[in-house]
Amino acid sequence: MTKSYTEESMMLESQPSANWTDKCHSSSQDERDVENTNVPMHKDMEDDDVGLNRLEDEDDEEEEEEEEDGDDTKPKRRGPKKKKMTKARLQRFKMRRMKANARERNRMHGLNDALESLRKVVPCYSKTQKLSKIETLRLAKNYIWALSEILRSGKSPDLMSFVQALCKGLSQPTTNLVAGCLQLNPRTFLPEQSQEMPPHMQTASASFSALPYSYQTPGLPSPPYGTMDSSHIFHVKPHAYGSALEPFFDTALTDCTSPSFDGPLSPPLSVNGNFSFKHEPSSEFEKNYAFTMHYQAAGLAGAQGHASLYAGSTQRCDIPMENIMSYEGHSHHERVMNAQLNAIFHDS
């Protein structure tokens, strides 16, 4: 442990046990804080045979002597000497620390609540398979950017570009989850799927699969965070799909590092709507395999919900976004928002 203990910090060995979980946190945490005053917090604190009683008995000069004897390399403590810790001071300090701990817990719980709220408004909300905090933030950032881009360009996105924008910088498991939530089979992007596609589609598929950040089946090792720069995805040449995949995210496709992505964004849109991903088929194949994604709630169990991306023969990909955003129910307010956003996109 690298911490240097002051007399105060050492006394805190008698603080309540750490590892409060969401399950166990209750209204009586403060009471437990007071009750469990003899549970060591950290292992090294356990190992360190310095306790409350000892601290109560020793004064600061003794402490300083210990430091000098124990480690010659340590710099001498500077500043005013600490006052002797009387029992009264000790009690005050303990109470202060307990209150601070309780406040900090509440603060973090509030932060987690906010994060949970955020999880519910970004695509792919699932109570059973929660996004991690960092992935939630990344996905939210991408989502905001994507929606901003929709507003900026006034165009409805094609699904592929939209998903790519959403998945930028996400880990592979999260990418798979997003794809699953969108019922977009990650294998769609893999070369082994290409035999079912015409040559020009194979090209596109190969392009995707060649990316370091390719969609892969779940279970494969995921690269570490930070290495999944999906910016490469945006380098896929749109013409590989012909006009069928008209690049909605032009700026992203051409310059994923542009400030438009990481820079200041439009005011966040916390909306759930029924997007209508325009898809203009340019070939018979694409006409036959145009996006049709009418999700069934029952089939939206994450990775299980991998309906074929290319099914049906419609030219539009009508995706009830309430299923994308959250397939575990929406409030009336959210449904109203859905309808409003849907109207916007159908008007555009």
Give contact residues for DNA (rule: CB under 7 A).
1-3, 5-6, 8-9, 12-13, 15-22, 24-25, 33, 41-46, 96-97, 99-105, 107-109, 112, 130, 132-135, 171, 219, 221, 224-225
Q: Please state, in angstroms and rounded to a whole number, the distance separating the CA atoms of residues 188 and 283.
A: 18
Going by C-alpha positions, the residue among 78, 98, 73, 88 that lies closest to residue 15 is 98
Of 71 and 284, CB closest to DNA: 71
Q: Please state, in angstroms and rounded to a whole number, the distance separating the CA atoms of residues 173 and 171.
A: 6
Closest separation between CB of residue 266 and DNA, Å? 23
Closest separation between CB of residue 74 and DNA, Å? 15
Helices (H) and strands (E) in the chain, counts: 15, 2
Of 81 and 237, CB closest to DNA: 81
Of 174 and 194, CB closest to DNA: 174
Of 210 and 220, CB closest to DNA: 220
Closest separation between CB of residue 31 and DNA, Å? 12
Closest separation between CB of residue 237 and DNA, Å? 31
Distances (CA, A) of 48 to 13, 40, 42, 142, 312: 9, 10, 10, 47, 68
Q: Please state, in angstroms and rounded to a whole number, the distance separating the CA atoms of residues 228 and 241.
A: 23
Tokens 């500043």, residue located = 79
Closest separation between CB of residue 133 and DNA, Å? 4
Closest separation between CB of residue 136 and DNA, Å? 8
Of 43 and 87, CB closest to DNA: 43
Of 30 and 318, CB closest to DNA: 30
337, 135 contact by CB (below 8 A): no
Phi-psi label, residue 260: left if phi above 0, alpha if psi -120 to 50, beta otherwise: alpha
Of 103 and 346, CB closest to DNA: 103
Closest separation between CB of residue 63 and DNA, Å? 14
Positive or negative CA dihedral for 189, 221, 132, 327? positive
With b meaning 16 or more CB within 10 Å and e meaning fewer, what string describes 193-206? bbeebeebbbbbbb
Closest separation between CB of residue 56 and DNA, Å? 15
CB-CB neighbours of 28 under 10 Å: 10
CA dihedral 70, 74, 75, 79 (to 10 degrees): -60
Of 227 and 340, CB closest to DNA: 227
